[in-house]
Structure 1
Amino acid sequence: MHTKSNPDWHFQRPELADYYLKSFALKLSNSRALFARRRMGKTEFLLQDLGPAAAKQGYRVIYINLWECRDNTSEGVASSVINSLQNSDGFLERIKKISSKKIGTIKLNAKTPMAEGSFETRFEADKSTANLMTNMWQQIDQCQDTILLLIDEAQILASANNGDLAAALRAGLDVRKQKIHVIFTGSSEHTLRDMFAKSNQPFYNWAPVEPFPLLDNLFVQHMIAVSNHILDRNYHLTDQQGIEAFNQLKQTPELFRRFLEEYLIRPFHGCLSAIENALAKTYTDQGFDSLWSELLPVDRIILQAIAAKQEGLSSKNTRIKLGQYLGLAEIANHTVNNALARLFEKQHLSREDRGVYRFEDDHFEEWIKLEHPLPTW
């Protein structure tokens, strides 16, 4: 229930949470891997729907965001698990403490700092990561409850630097399948599929990989209803206006929230202005300029070509054209392949089919079309 002074911006998804928990209860599987593009509501669902629902059913819920500890993933995982299991507050109590804090704007930061993913527990500098991992498994074995382990941005485990960690996790989880259920989520479909489908990967065949169910017009209608409860009647939005804005923002929940924030602040400027401002802020906040400047020239031209829907990147004619843009006679085939490999590794691109690629972040693609379009072919 929301009030004008305390609006409830969270669109609850109890049926979806119940679906995953029932699959575990029926022992159909003990793990799932879910993928969706960035900003599509995965983390919010884990923290505000699935986690609380599991806690009510008696699970001990542990949430880890690997992106937040990507610089030292092994220590981050072990520290997060130990800290969570040693914390006397349950998952629901920690969620309530976070929810009770007053929020000045409608921004809903799904990655709200909480015990599971933080580094509040500090370990002595001389404790090795190996000791931390051992301690982590000991803490897990001492826990009397069934554990639901929520691993967000799981594609981080597929990086070469985390090969040993992935192997150690797989080994530890294999012998605790009755005690630990795992939900992996990731924003890179390509990397997540490789992580569970390639025989040379530690997590090969360990969890079914499936798309995360995306938010739809019901989410839009909820957000419009909450907004209209705050707005002056003269500036109320219709469901149709909301749906049109949602579609223009590529059905991205995070951007739709930004649109509503812009509209709530300046409703007299209208919907179009709010959409434009939401996109502009996204481009700035995501640091697309910096991302672009860090790329090699050949990587940039590959991205420009894909954004322009250019096919046949490995064909001789295309490589000659791309080379001309770079001041070369021709780009070698292996140069194109190396550029694609780098862009896969950085999670800018994924492969849909042989010779067919798509951006992991639709808004990065739109930004390239706007700021760095491929010259006329």
Structure 2
Amino acid sequence: MNNAVFHRPQLAAEVVNLALGRNALGRAGAGVFLAGQRRIGKTTFLLQDLTPALQSEGVHVIYVDLWANKEVSPSELIANAIARDLAEAQGAVAKMAAAIKAVTIHGVSFDLQDVGRKAGASLADALKELQASLGKPIALIVDEAQHVAAEGKSMDVMFALKSARDTLNVDGKRKLLLIMSGSDRDKLLRLVNTPRAPFFGAQIHDLPALGREYSAHVAGRLVQAHPRLKISNEAMDAAFERFVRRPEPFEEAIGQAANPLAGPDADFHARLNFEADKYERKLDEEHEEVLEALSPLEAAVLRWVLEHGPGARLFTQNALTFYGQAVGRSVGAGSARDAVQALRNIEPPVLWKSDRGDYALENTDMLRWYRKRMDAGT
């Protein structure tokens, strides 16, 4: 079965209309913020659907993935992408061939021969120059934008983008469109939900998970590749749900189940459900292994976070009392802080800390697993 992309043109058109201000009910002046869990096809949508839809409107698109290299600061990743496109645009315009030697975008310096108008150009200067060179609006798509809110990751670049937006978008004309995606809605909220946030007041829209249209699309491709199989769209979608609506493991499982050497054609759906069983066990075992490796106090802290959700305060008297009851001894703030730090130092980390000092789960899948276990009474 080939890996044809499942396109979502209607969803892309809705996001484009929001970004361009055509949706009277949407407040996208501060930018469009899209939240969607990991591995549900978010990046594919941004690159394969949203980018072409914006380009068809005459918009130049810059795409940056802040998780492409976690060792590089968000400021540098964003600035590099802008500087690269500016250098390419200026290279195509003869009158700009004598531009300056270096650009500094929010503390990040670029030794580029043809970037900007003057040494030390700001991010707003670089974007303004790029927009003028291209003669068209620019859309900056920042994937995994919540990464800037983590401790040690400067939020300043977002304030710089806000400044650039305010500089370029005057007289009702949108020359700079900011589109931010995030795999954790609660972390993305750090960009919009307080007066000190760079995009205070902006709305976060939940990116819909792939639904029945996608599972039917996959079923159609499967029938084309293996006409001998009798496929039920209903059964395919039920199986897809068990893969948490994640296309990659779902399609890998289909490849296993549809293998002619795997067994009789009539047993395809039974084999696919068997693959779903394995996937669910794999997810459960990953979280169970994390929990089993923790000390009693670390496990108590984790459970407090799971039970109290985003914004849980970890060092209140109520929290310390909970930890003490869990481990059978008195727990002070110092011991609790050591446990919290240990949860952040695990590879991969269990807890995430924002630049404001609050905590959240690093992997929100663990909350889904915990609630499933609670519902089952286990």
TM range (shorter): 0.5 to 0.7
Structure with bigger gyration radius: 2
The answer for the alignment partner of 1:44 in structure 2 is: 44
2:159 aligned residue (138, 146, 167): 167
- Residue-by-residue CA offset, 1:199-250 (whole Å, 9 max, x unaligned): 1222322x3112112211111111111122212514x432122112112122
Q: Is the 8 A contact 2:85 2:130 kept in 1?
A: no
For the residues of structure 2 that align with 1:51 and 1:166, how far apart are their CA atoms? 21
Post-superposition CA distance 1:251-310 (Å, at most 9, x none): 2333323322333446538113322455577789xx879977997864444335666899
- Post-superposition Cα deviations, 1:297-356, rounded to whole Å, max 9, x if no partner, equal 6444433566689999946774333223xxxx0345787699779979968589xxxxxx
In the alignment, the residues of structure 1 paired with residue 342 and residue 168 of structure 2 have an alpha-carbon distance, to the nearest angstrom, of: 36
Alignment of 1:1-377 (within 5 A): 7=2, 9-23=4-18, 24-26=20-22, 28=24, 29-30=28-29, 31-70=31-70, 71-87=72-88, 124=111, 133=123, 135=126, 137-159=128-150, 160-177=152-169, 178-205=174-201, 207-231=202-226, 233-234=228-229, 236-265=230-259, 267-268=262-263, 270-278=271-279, 298-304=297-303, 314=318, 318-324=322-328, 329-332=329-332, 361=363, 363-365=365-367
Structure 1 spans left out of the alignment, 5+ residues: 89-121, 351-356
Instruction: Please give the alpha-carbon distance, in whole angstroms, between the structure 1 residues aligned to 2:290 and 2:122.
Output: 34
Give the aligned CA root-mean-square deviation in angstroms. Answer: 4.6
Q: Is the 8 A contact 2:301 2:323 kept in 1?
A: no
For residues 105-159 of structure 1, the C-alpha deviation after alignment (integer angstroms, 9 at most, x for no partner) is xxxxxxxxxxxxxxxxx9549x9x9668454553344331111221110101223
- Structure 2 counterpart of 1:260, one-letter code: I
Using a 3 Å threshold, how does the CA distance of structure 1 residues 366 and 15 change in structure 2: closer, same or farther?
Answer: closer
TM-score by length of 2: 0.68
Other-structure match for 1:353? none
Separation of aligned partners in 2, 1:32 and 1:332: 43
Structure 1 stretch displaced more, 76-85 or 222-231: 76-85
Aligned length: 321
Is the CA contact 2:60–2:139 (under 8 Å) kept in the aligned structure 1? yes
Shift of 1:42: 1.3
Q: 1:280 to 1:58 in 2, by over 3 A?
A: farther
**Which protein has greater RCO, CA pairs closer than 8 Å, 6+ apart?**
1
1:290–1:37 CA distance, 2 compared to 1 (3 A):
same
DSSP-derived class of the 1:270 partner: helix
Q: Percent identity?
A: 21
Aligned position for 2:356: none
Q: Is the CA contact (8 Å cut-off) linking 2:74 and 2:153 kept in structure 1?
A: no
SS at match of 1:197: coil
Maintained 8 Å contact 2:9/2:49: yes
Kept in 1: contact 2:243–2:250 (CA 8 A): yes
Change (3 A) 1:309 1:64: closer
Match of 2:102 in 1: none
Q: Distance in 1 between matches of 2:294 and 2:81?
A: 33
- Structure ranking higher in helix proportion: 1
Measure the CA separation in 2 of the matches of 1:290 and 1:87: 49
Does the CA-based 8 Å contact 1:39-1:253 persist in structure 2?
A: yes
